[in-house]
Structure 1
Amino acid sequence: MPRKAMSDRQKQANRSKQKIAKAALSLFQKKGYHNVTIEDICKKADVSVGGFYHHFSSKGAVFEIVMSEITGKVSSYVRAHPSGGSAREDLRQFLLFFAQCHQEIDLGVLQAWLNPSFCALGDAPDDPSVLEITRLIQAGQSSGEITEQFSPRELTTHLFVGAKGVIYDWCLHAGGYDLLQRMNLYIGIELCGISA
């Protein structure tokens, strides 16, 4: 019985966290990130300021919800798409998927999230996207498809920073062009440059 009560509490806490995040993201989209206060978020979510701080350390921390959604999609993609073909083609497909994940986020939310104060697209060594790009580069170097002139870490950083740049540019242009088409062009150019 106590185990079920704990589970119910966890479910309630998760619902509360989601409610706060949804309210915050909606306000960021409408008013702009810098024009929204924690009090605004609490009022819209109908929670106390203490309730907000129970779930988030700052208003920027609300973007953890967006990041975890993308991380979950990337992890699912990696499990569902084991490599087996060309490492270069696997890299192309993964980076297109990475762009698609970001394209599915509301543009206003994505623009707020990409504010330089967040470093929101993540580039931690344990980020699932970074790990997958590194794995694919290592496979490409092992098969002779990708140059060994640079380490897998250097090539991963280069590709990841460039892919983030394409997404950032798309946001700066308010989604005014086809993100996947632009990402595909970027990937094609980069893959030519790192081929063995």
Structure 2
Amino acid sequence: MEYAQRRKLQSQETERKILYAALELMRERGFDKVSVRDICKAAGITTGAFYHHFSSKEALLEHGFAPLDDYMRSVLENSGDESPDQRLWRLLSAYGQFMEHSGELIGRYYQQRIAEPGTKSMDPSRYTLRSMVECFRQAEREGILAPGHSPEWIADFCFRHFRGVVVDWVLHGYSYPLLPRMEEDYRLFVTLFHA
């Protein structure tokens, strides 16, 4: 492996260590009670290394969904034999569980997104969205996807809807269990599949 390639991989690994350390600390203590120094100590890095990757603690939120994509990848890696509706529920329930586990951080993330108009929170290259698109493509290949829209459009619509459910949960102060609400809405979405 070339030096430049090794350095790039090392940099990505350091960034992930920072993100995971911050995520765990912030889940335990809350965003405001965690300092950059706390994150560095938990990640086993210097503050200089932190600031090489992130301009501030708030900047972590911009990259905070890399752990979500990693989590989704681990949950979905053995779902190849599932039907599209089973895989869609696996994807949505994992998404909901991650959100519930992250709690206040999700609220912070969306506050930041709203405060910075024009930022793109759902990059089409992200694993979570690509997995949803593939789920609807499989349904289309199997002839069970309701006609009228492309798998890409349906996946985008589905993701926007469930992201909205999460935002509603945040706006209600995390006062209701998220997963049952998502399951109720999922039952409507599976009507996109027909016999």
Q: Which of 108, 111, 115 lines up with 1:112 in the alignment?
A: 108
Q: Kindly indicate whether the alpha-carbon contact (under 8 Å) linking 1:114 and 1:121 is maintained by their aligned counterparts in 2.
A: no
Change (3 A) 1:121 1:114: farther
Residue 80 of structure 1 and its aligned partner are, at CA, apart by 2.1
Mapped partners of 1:30, 1:59: distance in 2: 9
Mapped partners of 1:31, 1:14: distance in 2: 21
Mapped partners of 1:18, 1:151: distance in 2: 35
Which amino acid is the alignment partner of residue 96 of structure 1?
S
Where in structure 2 are there 5+ consecutive unaligned residues? none
TM value normalised by structure 2: 0.72
Mapped partners of 1:41, 1:154: distance in 2: 41
Mapped partners of 2:50, 2:90: distance in 1: 39
Does 2:95 align with 1:98? yes
Q: Which of 52, 57, 60 lines up with 2:58 in the alignment?
A: 60
Mapped partners of 1:184, 1:108: distance in 2: 21
TM value normalised by structure 1: 0.72
Q: Kindly indicate whether the alpha-carbon contact (under 8 Å) linking 1:121 and 1:164 is maintained by their aligned counterparts in 2.
A: no
Structure 2 equivalent of residue 142 of structure 1:
141
Mapped partners of 1:168, 1:195: distance in 2: 26
Mapped partners of 2:96, 2:79: distance in 1: 16
**Superimposed CA distance per residue, residues 81-136 of structure 1 (whole angstroms, 9 cap, x where no aligned partner):** 21333x1232122211111111111x222211122246999411111111111111
Which amino acid is the alignment partner of residue 136 of structure 2?
I
Counterparts in 2 of 1:36-75, with a 5 A limit?
41-42=35-36, 52-63=50-61, 66-75=64-73
Percent same amino acid among aligned pairs? 19
Q: Kindly indicate whether the alpha-carbon contact (under 8 Å) linking 2:88 and 2:135 is maintained by their aligned counterparts in 1.
A: yes
Q: Decide which structure has the larger Cα Rg and report it.
A: 1
Change (3 A) 1:132 1:120: farther
Change (3 A) 1:179 1:42: closer
What's the C-alpha RMSD, in Å, of the aligned pairs? 3.8
> How many residue pairs get matched?
180
Residue 46 of structure 1 and its aligned partner are, at CA, apart by 7.7
